[in-house]
Amino acid sequence: MSSLPHPETASPRTSLRTRVLEDRPVNKDGFVQEWPEVGMVAMDSDFDPRPSIRIENGVVVEMDGRERADFDFLDQFIADHAIDVEAAETAMRQAPATVARMLVDPNIPRAEVLRTARGLTPAALLETVKLMNIVEIMMGMQKMRARRTPANQAHCTSARDNPLQVAMEAAEASLRGFAELETTLGVVRYAPLVAIALQVGGQVGRGGRLTQCALEEATELDLGMRGITAYAETISVYGTESVFVDGDDTPWSKAFLAAAYASRGIKMRFTSGTGSEVQMGNAEGRSMLYLEIRCILVTKGAGVQGLQNGSISCIGVPGAVPSGIRAVTAENMIASMLDLECASGNDQSFSHSPMRRTSRLMPQIMAGTDFVCSGYSSTPNYDNMFAGSNVDAEDYDDWNAIQRDYQIDGGLQHVKESEILAARRRAGHALQAVFAHLNLPPITAREIETAVYAHGSNDLIPRDVLEDLKGAQSVMDRGVTGLDLVKALHEGGFADVAENLLTVLRQRVSGDLLQTSAILDGNLEPLSAVNDANDYAGPGTGYRPSGERWEQMKKLRHVTSAENPEVEVE
């Protein structure tokens, strides 16, 4: 039996229960009061403008209380390229409550909401979502996402930038169901080898995975042009002019970069998120969500097919203020409401609390988005070079169980150990063949066998970093392309992997990867908002796991036989 202490000092007594609560993980998180004057407020600030619009001769001359002569460059870009002046006056006559009800009313088709949304100003969009609680925002997201079938994206990285590890993580992630795979580096000069590894590994498992290497913009574009990667999404946009200027960028420069990617059929998303402007010290006294809505409209105006948002690497900021996670969910829904592909964050860890971590991802996985995570770490978090994800390789079984519990599709499935080991080994040997063909630093059989069974980079055999970096530079100097990888795979005895990669390159040339929400299905055919448009219209409609997919999702690591509880079924 425990006994309460009897303090000898006059300090306030603390109950044993409070001491237990103090030690809970959630109390290691940071929480702050709102401070609207500097933008430390999620979505409800007296300093945000009120909705308004005036159009003369087809030109927006006043928007959200600001005359055109007073527009900053975001206002001008949004007014000239994002607001549909044909729809604006009718849309702006709708009360925010009317638009909010359109979002949750299954009798109002998605297309009708899109027609209205494209005429709304940033302040009008904000006033609309401020009326919606979290369940209503999820209802809106379920109806408004572009692609009918949800999907997911993985981060495949290595704390040592080990290309062999990245190839194997990509193969395993592909097998587990991720449609897109992204990597980044600790040492940027490693990028060519790691990007090649990601591409090769992504074509092993089930194949047809789209890959990206997040870097500074020139090298990232170069790798895409060569066909070593298939998409880009780390082109950041911001909600205030001062932050844009701080980065030597403008909405026009970002639009130009987006056009460069699109000119070669490379899939492209911008990145933004609540909290970035206040974190960079230039929120200009606006709420986080108001500024994020401006980013979403800049993305729309630039003609980009989609947006990675959901606060992303700034999640600690909205996560610390009241209603912050609701605002993050709302920004995902608004991206969908404007007919953009939405990769809905969950990228960065933000809480010590397992309960908060799970609650953070529930709106997206419950409602379904184009990519539930834009950064599920396929590695243990210590290997995640994007600063750690909200979910990582140790959460696979939990994720699969949640999918099964609710019959919701988060894009993943359980895979037998034997299949994972086989895919990892095959990816290792495929990369070994590619490196040999390109005269890159060799990969030994011992390295491969060690990596097949490894949990993370701490378990790997260290590589000769200097020789790897020389090899990486030679990839750039020799102009190695995606077709060189196809040839290397084919001549190395991996014809099926070569064919998968060649198909991805063909789809890029055809331009089909530029369709909103494009991924490749099991037959390596495009699945997008064009041929798989979201048709949710209330109970019994829209996507829900069924047939072969549902049977797949019922499988977990340990499921016992109904006939014999002593036996586990596969």
According to DSSP, residue 461 is labeled P
Per the structure block, which two tokens stand in for 274? 């609540």
Distance CA 237, CA 234 (A): 9
Neighbours of 135 (CB within 10 A): 12
Please confirm, yes or no, whether 374 is among the known catalytic residues: yes
Per the structure block, which two tokens stand in for 13? 């007594």
Catalytic residue, chosen from 48, 127, 142, 155, is: 155
Partners of residue 54 on adjacent β-strands: 62
**Matching residue, tokens 């995902």:** 332
Please confirm, yes or no, whether 347 is among the known catalytic residues: yes
Residue/partner pairs of 557-561 with CB below 8 Å, 24 or more apart: 557/397, 557/400, 557/414
Q: Which is it for the CA torsion 91, 138, 400, 379, positive or negative?
A: positive
Catalytic residue, chosen from 142, 272, 344, 374, is: 374
Distance CA 177, CA 165 (A): 18
Distance CA 121, CA 548 (A): 43
Q: Which amino acid is at 346?
A: N
Catalytic residue, chosen from 212, 279, 308, 528, is: 308
Report residue 19 CA to chain centroid gap.
Answer: 38
Quick check: 148 and 542 in contact, CB under 8 A?
Answer: yes
Catalytic residue, chosen from 75, 161, 182, 341, is: 182
Please confirm, yes or no, whether 515 is among the known catalytic residues: no
Catalytic residue, chosen from 45, 142, 153, 236, is: 153
Please confirm, yes or no, whether 76 is among the known catalytic residues: no
Distance CA 275, CA 312 (A): 9
Order the strands of the 53-56 sheet from edge to edge: 53-56, 59-63, 66-67
Quick check: 286 and 278 in contact, CB under 8 A?
Answer: no
Quick check: 318 and 281 in contact, CB under 8 A?
Answer: no
Helix (H, G, I), strand (E, B) or coil at 460: coil
Report residue 184 CA to chain centroid gap.
Answer: 14
Distance CA 462, CA 74 (A): 48
Distance CA 479, CA 365 (A): 41
Helices (H) and strands (E) in the chain, counts: 23, 15
* Residues annotated catalytic, as ranges: 153, 155, 182, 233, 308, 347, 374
